[in-house]
Structure 1
Amino acid sequence: MSEPVRPAVVNDDAVRTALAQHLSRISGSRTEITSFGRKSSGFSWITYVFAARSAADGDRMLILRVGPPNGLFAPYSVLSQVYALQLLAGSGVPVPALVSFEQDGAEFGFPFFICTHVEGDVPAPWAASELDPDHKRSIARQFVEILASLHRIDPSATPFASLQQGEERAEVRAIAGWRASLARPTARYYPLLDWGGRWLEDNCPQPPCRTIVHGDYRIGNFIEHNGRITAILDWELTHLGDPHEDLAWAMMPTFNARSRKLYGVLERAEVIDLYQRTSGIAVSDKSLAFYEAYALYQAAAIQMCAVRAFEVDRFNDLRLAVMASQMPSIVRAFERALEAAA
């Protein structure tokens, strides 16, 4: 039996029709989509917010996320996000409730999942200066405490263990993957990234323990409402690995309005102290320095993936087109981070 023909691009009208059919099928009740719109935030999965009405479930506000065929990290898998939402429901890590998902995306033509809509705002790192410092401090401390809660979960009993491929460590495999991405003919060539990627792969430290690593844990990837973080978002890069990876990524100045302080308010030493006390995991200065260098290397690779998605794969998001302009500053920061880690 031949594979179904997949659409080359995501058509919003077709997605809306398929969505109504899918929800009607899984609920056993005719479902009407009463409002539907694409959100502009995010650079990878396409996100829609919509209202659904049915006799079985009444009126609901929901979120649909679709993995486009020409997106930043195509081809997509929903498994890491689905596993996270299932595993963390009711835990100390707030996440939206999962409603439905399909990896093969037969009804839509693309992998997708549906979750509940969580009230609140997604803070923009560059707008942090407009917020009250005491409010930011409270949110930043919650942010660190939630990360500690995630890292306290025993990963051996979670579905993420099934995503591991053989004996190779996920972080080493990830570095090799980013190296391969940067070596593609369509990527700009930066000699320092070529050498630095090799150094990272050869010098990756052993983790103090294996934890669930979010993979994109940063300001801007959570929802806050009435002074509380109500949901952690974007679990597509989640894997088992070294907890230093999340900590280093969260503290990158890029995600903190170019500040060396988390959310512009928490000093590095305060973040590390709070994390150690709440997670029970000792932070290694050497490992953290390594992952700070790795974070910048990964950021550079993502920039190049974005440029490729726009120029080669025709992903229609003008924000991706300008990402190459950020490369010089990232490469300079990567050079300094490598010196600190070596």
Structure 2
Amino acid sequence: MGRGGSHRTVPGRPLRPAGAAVTARLEDADFVGRWFRHRMTRLGPEVADVRMHDVRRLSRGVSRQTWSVIGSVLGGDGRWSEREYIVRRDHEGGSIIPTSLRTEYEVYRRLNGSAVPTADVLWYEDEPGWAPDGREAYVRAKVPGDWLLPFIADDDPELDEARVAASKEHLDKLALVHTLDWEALGFGEVFAVPPSPAECAETLIGSVLSRLAEFQFEPSPLLAECVAWLRDAAPRDCPRVTLCKGTNGHGEEVWSDGRIVAMSDWELAVLGDPAYDFAQVQEMIPEIHRNGRRVWGLPEALAYHRERTGIEITVRRVEFYRRFYGVLQFLYCHHAAALVHRKEAAPLRFVWTAAEVGYHSRLRLAGVLGIDPLQEAPA
């Protein structure tokens, strides 16, 4: 990683990289410059040339790799301007989340141009010789902003108004997701479609188990018991099937000037009960109590969401999907463990997920059954 590479345009430079297996490396700014020039029409009709001078791996994120690519584009007005792009791809050993990279790309592609703010996805690369390091990838525009809201977890009363305002902004964007015409945008081609709103929970359970069966290498009696419990407890009062984002909230969206300008991380997206999203909100529904009075919390957030969408979400349904999250966590931990099981020398990231996160997923599953292994007395 570093500087160097295509600072100048070379007339007649061949588009296809020679010796692709050796030179088509994502950390090579010269290759990336030729790659982007090869796909230049995807950058916009006004782009006449492109130069790349900085490629770096971003540290955030666990399931896949995210890279920043910074360069300059020549516009139709003859002026160069700096732009930054994001490249997403799997790790060399695969992805921790079993959702495919292509599915992640398709979610962005369908959301572009909708009311839901997302980064513009530019292309999916699977052509031999151009896929960096021989691995499929997709490219999207970088949206200026930041994921960090330093005040969101601060209990200072003077920050109550800012925390509630940020929470409402987040709920406004979730409302856009939950009222989207997912059928018109073709999401039924991407995700399992519940036959009816009443069958959202059962469809989700079945979908996860089908995916797990593709790579499960050892039985889990604990998971089987939890699934049986969840199927018995599955709510049937969901009023509407919606697009659901999955992981959402602080650390998952891009903010600028107090507004969410891009919703990111769609790896756990599904079609189902919007309560599924409320079960996965990270920090953006703070519980605020002042002088014995409730200022904000889950009931207030659900009421605010109902005003925006007309969709009734109960605390009971949110609690169900919080319990169900243990199954999702088991899914991706076991996916990582399956890769470790197959390889003699697995990447540390996969080993850590399979062992450490997998341990916590089993604690979460035990909690679904009302068992706390850390408190149980030894036999």
Q: TM-score, normalised by structure 1?
A: 0.77
Match of 1:151 among 178, 199, 216: 178
**How far, CA to CA, are the matches of 1:62 and 1:324 in structure 2?**
34
**How far, CA to CA, are the matches of 2:312 and 2:53 in structure 1?**
50
Residue identity matched to 2:35: H
Pairwise CA distance, 1:336? 3.9
Residue identity matched to 1:220: G
**How far, CA to CA, are the matches of 1:43 and 1:181 in structure 2?**
22
Aligned to 1:220: 251
Aligned to 1:275: 305
CA contact (8 A) 1:80 1:235 kept: yes
In structure 2, relative to structure 1, the CA distance for the partners of 1:99 and 1:148 (3 Å cut) is: same
Aligned to 2:276: 245
In structure 2, relative to structure 1, the CA distance for the partners of 1:148 and 1:295 (3 Å cut) is: same
Which has the higher Rg, Structure 1 or Structure 2?
2
Aligned to 2:56: 37
DSSP-derived class of the 2:123 partner: strand
Q: Spell out the pairing of 1:95-110 with structure 2 (5 A cutoff).
A: 95-102=118-125, 107-108=130-131, 109-110=134-135
Match of 2:327 among 297, 300, 308: 297
Pairwise CA distance, 1:230? 1.7
Range that drifts further, 316-325 or 277-286: 316-325
Residue identity matched to 1:60: R
CA contact (8 A) 1:62 1:115 kept: yes
Pairwise CA distance, 1:296? 2.4
**How far, CA to CA, are the matches of 2:261 and 2:194 in structure 1?**
36
DSSP-derived class of the 2:140 partner: strand
Gaps of at least 5 residues in structure 2 are 1-19, 42-47, 289-295, 371-379
CA contact (8 A) 2:106 2:190 kept: no
**How far, CA to CA, are the matches of 1:202 and 1:178 in structure 2?**
21
**How far, CA to CA, are the matches of 2:160 and 2:129 in structure 1?**
48
Aligned to 2:147: 122
**How far, CA to CA, are the matches of 1:296 and 1:204 in structure 2?**
15
**How far, CA to CA, are the matches of 1:286 and 1:78 in structure 2?**
34
Residue identity matched to 2:166: I
Q: Spell out the pairing of 1:127-206 with structure 2 (5 A cutoff).
A: 128-129=153-154, 132-164=159-191, 171-177=204-210, 179-180=212-213, 183-185=216-218, 191-201=221-231, 204-206=234-236
**How far, CA to CA, are the matches of 2:316 and 2:258 in structure 1?**
34
Deviations 1:223-273 (A, max 9, x none): 1122222211012332322212111122xxxx44xxxx8256541212211
Deviations 1:181-226 (A, max 9, x none): 78423xxx65322311243356544442111111222321111122
CA contact (8 A) 1:105 1:112 kept: no
1:59 corresponds to 2:72: no
In structure 2, relative to structure 1, the CA distance for the partners of 1:123 and 1:337 (3 Å cut) is: farther
CA contact (8 A) 1:85 1:95 kept: no
In structure 2, relative to structure 1, the CA distance for the partners of 1:157 and 1:86 (3 Å cut) is: closer
In structure 2, relative to structure 1, the CA distance for the partners of 1:124 and 1:202 (3 Å cut) is: farther
DSSP-derived class of the 2:71 partner: strand
Aligned to 2:108: 84
Pairwise CA distance, 1:291? 1.2
CA contact (8 A) 1:204 1:290 kept: yes
CA contact (8 A) 2:194 2:241 kept: no
DSSP-derived class of the 1:231 partner: strand
Residue identity matched to 2:148: P
In structure 2, relative to structure 1, the CA distance for the partners of 1:263 and 1:324 (3 Å cut) is: farther
**How far, CA to CA, are the matches of 2:155 and 2:215 in structure 1?**
37
**How far, CA to CA, are the matches of 2:209 and 2:227 in structure 1?**
8
Pairwise CA distance, 1:39? 0.3
DSSP-derived class of the 1:223 partner: strand
CA contact (8 A) 1:135 1:227 kept: no
**How far, CA to CA, are the matches of 1:114 and 1:51 in structure 2?**
12
Q: TM-score, normalised by structure 2?
A: 0.71
Match of 1:111 among 127, 133, 136: 136
Aligned to 1:232: 263
Pairwise CA distance, 1:96? 1.2
Pairwise CA distance, 1:40? 0.8
Aligned to 1:22: 35
**How far, CA to CA, are the matches of 1:142 and 1:276 in structure 2?**
14
Higher helix share: 1
Aligned to 1:211: 242
Residue identity matched to 1:50: V
In structure 2, relative to structure 1, the CA distance for the partners of 1:11 and 1:21 (3 Å cut) is: closer
**How far, CA to CA, are the matches of 1:128 and 1:89 in structure 2?**
33
CA contact (8 A) 1:216 1:237 kept: yes
CA contact (8 A) 2:336 2:353 kept: no
Residue identity matched to 2:252: N
In structure 2, relative to structure 1, the CA distance for the partners of 1:49 and 1:130 (3 Å cut) is: farther
The count of corresponding residues between Structure 1 and Structure 2 is 320
Range that drifts further, 325-334 or 132-141: 325-334
**How far, CA to CA, are the matches of 1:320 and 1:306 in structure 2?**
7
